[in-house]
Amino acid sequence: MSEELAYAIITPYSLHKSRTGGILSRLTTRTGLDLVAVRMFAPSAELVTQYADKTISADDPQDHRIQELIYQYIRQNLGPDPKTGRRRRIMMLLFKGEDAVRKTRAVVGSFSPGRYGGETIRDTYGDLVLDSDGEVLYFEPAVLAAPTPDEAQEKLRLWAGFSDTEGGVLENVIAYRPGERPQRTLVLIKPDNFQLATGRPGNMIDFFSRTGLFIVGIRVLRMSPAQAMEFYGPVREVLRTKLKDVVASRAKAVLEKELGFTIPAEQEGQLGEMLGPLFGDDQFESIVKFMSGQTPGECPADQIDQPGTEKCISLVYEGVEAVRKIRDILGPTDPSKAPPGSIRREFGQSVMVNAAHASDSEENAVREMGIVNVGENTFRRVVEEFYGTH
C-alpha cells in the first residue's frame, strides 16, 4: 500500500480549551503515522468558504445530516469573528504513512446520536447535543479530517495555497485587557520525545497548557548542525569554564589511580585549566549532535546548513508573563532537581536529555525564534513535494 498524506484540523474551540495536546497524543499513538508538518492558520472568510464548499461529499461515510452540521460549523466558526473581525486560530497537523487518511479518520471518529464513550477524539472532545425532538442544541466537532485520499489531496492543496498569507506565526489573534502586555516565548520539544510514536509530545503540550498561554506558532523542525551551533552558541563558553572543576577532579582521580601518587591541589587546578575547555567543547558537540544528528566535525562543510535527522517541535507561546510561566512549568535544567509536576521532572532524563527547551528571557526568545524560524512554511513544501506543484 502506498503512502498518503492526511490532515487533522484542530478547531478554534479545541485550541481555546487547551485540548491540543490530548488530540495530538491520540493521533500519534493510535495511527502510528509520521507527523511531518504542523502549521497555525488564521483563515480568511475566502479560505473558509472554499473549504466549507468541499465538505459535503457522497464519499464521506459520515451521515449526511452531520455533514451539513460540519458545513455550517466551518462557515460560522473557522472564519473571522463577525463582531470584531478578529481572525480565529486553527492548527493543522499533517501526517504521512501507509493508509494515512483512513487511519486518521478512524481515530478522529464520526458522530451518531446516542453514542457515548471515549474511543475516538470526537467521543472525548466533540459534542452533539439534541433536544427531545431531535433538534440540534449544540455541535462541536473538535477536529476536522478528510474521508478519502482524493479529498485529502484537494483540501490540502487548497490550504497550501493560502498557507503563506494566512498561516505561520500568527499576529493579532488574541484579545487582551487594557494595560496587559503580552510576551512571546519559544519552546522546543526535543528529539528524545520522537524516538518512538508515543504521546510524550502531546502530553508535554498539555503541561504547557496549564500556563493559560496561547499557541500562535508551531513547526516540525529538523535542526541543521549550523542552526544547533548558533542556537546553543552562548552555552559553549559557559561549558568551557563551568566544567573546569569537574574535569580537574575526574582527571586527578584517574591519574592518581593509574600513576600511584597524589596530585597536589595546584596541579589539579592546572589540569582543569588545560582540560576544561576541551571537555566543554566535547560537551557542546554532543549537544549539537543530540539536536541535529551530527557533530560539526562529522558534517561535510557543504551540508552544515541542511536539515538534520532529528525531529523537534518548535512552538511560540503568547500571553502575559509568557517567559516566566513557561519556565516555571518546565523546571530547572537538571531533571533530578526539578519539582514534582514540572515537565523535566516527568519527562527528563539528564541535563542534556531533559525533554524541552524554553527561552529564559524576551531577548533570547527573539534571538532563538529567529534561528529556528517557526514561521517557515514547511507545510506547503511537504504538500507540494508529495502531490507535485500542479
Length of the chain: 390
**355 domain-assigned:** no
Nearest-angstrom CA–CA distance, 107 and 27: 6
Residue 204's Cβ-count burial label (10 Å; 0-12, 13-18, 19+) is: buried
Q: Is there a contact between 51 and 32 (Cβ–Cβ < 8 Å)? A: no
Looking at residue 288, its pLDDT comes to 94
Write phi, then psi, for 97 (nearest 5 degrees).
160, 180
Q: Is there a contact between 41 and 90 (Cβ–Cβ < 8 Å)? A: yes
Domain range for 247 is 231-290
Residues 25 and 158 occupy one common structural domain:
yes
Other C-beta atoms lying within 10 Å of the C-beta of residue 385 = 10
Looking at residue 111, its pLDDT comes to 84
Residue 364 zone, left/alpha/beta (φ > 0; ψ -120 to 50; rest): alpha
**80 domain-assigned:** yes
Number of domains in the chain: 2
Q: What is the pLDDT along the chain (390 residues), one digit of tens a residue?
A: 689 999 999 999 999 999 999 999 999 999 999 999 999 999 999 999 999 999 888 777 778 888 899 999 999 999 999 999 999 999 999 999 999 999 999 999 988 766 666 789 999 999 988 888 888 889 999 999 999 999 999 999 999 999 999 999 999 999 999 999 999 999 999 999 998 888 999 999 999 999 999 999 999 999 999 999 999 999 888 888 877 788 878 888 888 788 888 888 888 788 778 887 888 888 899 999 999 999 888 888 888 999 999 999 999 999 999 999 999 999 998 899 999 999 999 999 888 789 999 999 999 999 999 999 999 999 999 999 999 875
Looking at residue 131, its pLDDT comes to 85
233-248 pLDDT, tens per residue? Answer: 998 888 888 777 888 7
**Which amino acid is present at 49?**
T
Residues 30 and 164 occupy one common structural domain:
yes
**357 domain-assigned:** no
Residues 163 and 239 occupy one common structural domain:
no
Nearest CA to 24 among 80, 102, 91, 115? 91
Q: Is there a contact between 30 and 143 (Cβ–Cβ < 8 Å)? A: no
Q: Crossing angle, helix 378-387 and helix 149-166, to 10 degrees?
A: 140
Looking at residue 123, its pLDDT comes to 92
Please identify, among 243, 275, 290, the residue that sits at the C-terminal boundary of a domain: 290
Looking at residue 251, its pLDDT comes to 80
Nearest-angstrom CA–CA distance, 119 and 291: 35
Nearest-angstrom CA–CA distance, 179 and 150: 49
Q: Provide the CATH number for the domain around residue 43.
A: 3.30.70.141
**Which amino acid is present at 388?**
G
Residues 143 and 13 occupy one common structural domain:
yes
Looking at residue 1, its pLDDT comes to 65
Nearest-angstrom CA–CA distance, 56 and 106: 18
Looking at residue 277, its pLDDT comes to 83
Sign of CA dihedral 20, 39, 138, 108: negative
Nearest-angstrom CA–CA distance, 245 and 268: 9
Question: At 228, which helix (H) or strand (E)?
Answer: helix 225-231
- How would you label 148-174 residue by residue, b for 16+ Cβ within 10 Å and e otherwise? bbebbbebbbbbbebbeebbbbbeebe
**266 domain-assigned:** yes
Cell numbers linked to 6: 492526511
Looking at residue 178, its pLDDT comes to 95
87 to each of 77, 105, 131, 185, 353, how far by Cα in Å?
A: 10, 27, 31, 21, 38
**210 domain-assigned:** no
**312 domain-assigned:** no
Nearest CA to 90 among 44, 127, 125? 44
Residues 161 and 252 occupy one common structural domain:
no
